[in-house]
A and B are shown apart, each in its own frame.
Chain A
Amino acid sequence: MTTKVLMKGSEAIAEAAILSGCRYFFGYPITPQNEIPEYLAKHLPKVGGTFLQAESEISAIYMVLGGAAAGARVMTSSSSPGISLKQEGISYMAGAETPCVIVNIMRGGPGLGAIQGAQPDYWQATRGGGHGDYRLLVLAPATVQEAVDLTYQAFDLADKYRNPVMILGDGILAQIMEPVELPEANNQLPDKAWAVGKNENRPRNIVSSSYPKVDELEKVSIRLHERYAQIKKNEVRWDSYLTDDAEYVIASYGSAARIAKAAIKMARAEGIKVGLIRPISVWPFPTEPFQNIVPQTKFFLSFEMCTGQMIDDVRLAIGNERPVYHYGRLGGVIPLPEELLAKIKELVKEAK
């Protein structure tokens, strides 16, 4: 029998990291994700790991770069303003092909904004975020269980593709408690021949994102983009709900997708045939399920807790074939299923 434990989203992410073999965490406090560093401050020392609070997010991400270059499984976590500060380091890590896991528990922005959960960092997460032509693999859990599963996998994916992986959550997911089943501890970590450290029996290793010769940098960029193509081929993840007969399709991820599901149940009770496509990997974006459902669909509705960012990817997926609308609440206001239902009904009426 598997036992379930009741865990806060943030603590579950922290525990999943430990189980996945992460032994180093560098971070800096910021609400609403403080329970991640606080949990790791308590529990990493018990497994021989190191928790270190940096003097800033900038410092923390470069500690991650160092730890990752040294071959360890390393994580950092923050919330929107802190993630902005990390962008330089993330770009360096993408360029130096160093794996790591970065957690962004999004809150209302821009600027200092507010500490309530929101989804305003989709563009930043899915378009690279920092300078340079790079991508992160970005996974967006909707439940505490999914947060555990994706965090656990994130370390493997980061190592497999030698690229930073981001867990994109929000303040709601980080704060709620739900029962979870935890995976087994991973004791078999991959060998990293490229990492720095003791080098008695091998030629020296260099971990760098600096390629002063343009033709060399072009080659590296091509290599990175071939790798991104592999990721696009192998790592697209998504879920759907009541799409078989759907005439209207909602696109939504993370906590918003759960609200969408509740609204869809209400709409179905009134005979409105609406379904949900929920991207789990927001980069790579699941374009195919959207393309495949175009023939039966009258319109798409992107439901996000921001002014509409993922809507761009829905449009890119389906082109001009169907209208794509947006609904969402801003600044950390949580949209209610009833509101979304009202929007669906309004659009359905217009579509007729």
Chain B
Amino acid sequence: MHELLLAGFGGQGVMLMGKILAYAGMKEEKQVMFIPSYGSEMRGGTANCSVILSEEEIDAPVVSKPTVLVAMNTPSFDKFESSVKENGIIILNSSLITKETTRENVKIVKVPASDIAKGLGNERIINMVLLGTLIAVTNCVKVGSIMASLKEILPPHRHNLLPLNQKAIEDAMSLVK
């Protein structure tokens, strides 16, 4: 079972990333749940959501000890670093997060996601970069399911962005291997 916690600030596409993962999981006939944070929490600038992907029925609609944390900025890293499950994974956007972890029993994967996105000409696809890293590191869903889901979720007038999204995902994946 994957319990993913995705966190960043509003505008980094955290919610979209979570929805795509849940969609992709559903396409693979997994049990899935997407849990957004909501309300005034979001006005402070940070946004986070959780996604559960499982082969079995999902019970509790809450992720308190994620198996994977994707931290897009320093406040998210500070807030959630300690919550990650033992032997879990922290994927962090090293373009913005320069701190080292204080945790000993987690795996750290550093990705200069903002820089990679900038290099691809669009800072807003930082979420796709990290999505690529996430699926390469965890194998939680297949890249094909992600692309198929993206197509369904993005409104047709955004479909021109699909190739760029795909490139961001694939570039990030190749960095892991």
Contact = CB atoms under 8 A, between A and B. Distances in A.
A179 B32 contact: yes
Contacts of A80: none
A172 interface: yes
A258 B38 CA distance: 20
23 contacts: A6-B23, A6-B26, A31-B38, A31-B39, A172-B35, A172-B61, A172-B62, A176-B34, A176-B35, A176-B36, A177-B22, A177-B33, A177-B34, A177-B36, A178-B34, A179-B26, A259-B62, A262-B59, A265-B59, A334-B62, A336-B60, A337-B60, A338-B64
B174 interface: no
A341 to B, nearest CB: 11
Looking at B35, B40, B59, the one whose CB has the most chain A CB atoms below 10 A away is B59
A287 interface: no
Interface in A243-262: 255, 258-259, 261-262
A309 interface: no
Nearest to A263: B60
Nearest to A336: B64
A173 B36 CA distance: 11
Nearest to A339: B64
A175 B35 contact: yes
Contacts of B64: 336, 338
B39 A115 contact: yes
Interface of A: 4, 6, 31-32, 115-116, 171-173, 175-179, 255, 258-259, 261-262, 265, 334, 336-338
B59 A6 contact: no
Q: Is the interface of B mostly helix, strand, loop or mixed?
A: mixed
Interface of B: 19, 22-23, 26, 32-36, 38-40, 58-62, 64
Nearest to B153: A6
Contacts of B39: 31-32, 115-116
A200 B19 CA distance: 54
Residue among A177, A261, A262 facing the most chain B CB atoms (10 A cut-off): A177
Nearest to B37: A175
Contact of B38 (A173, A175, A177, A334): A175
Contacts of B58: 178
Contact of A177 (B19, B59, B60): B19
Nearest to A4: B26
A104 B61 CA distance: 19
Contacts of A172: 35, 61-62
B60 A261 contact: yes
- Most chain A beta-carbon contacts within 10 A, residue among B19, B33, B60: B60
A115 B38 contact: yes
Nearest to B34: A177
B26 A32 contact: no
Nearest to B36: A175
B165 to A, nearest CB: 19
Nearest to B57: A261
A6 B62 contact: no
Nearest to A261: B59
A147 B166 CA distance: 35
B60 to A, nearest CB: 4
A255 B59 contact: no
A294 to B, nearest CB: 26
Interface core residue of A6, A31, A115, A259 (most chain B CB under 10 Å): A6
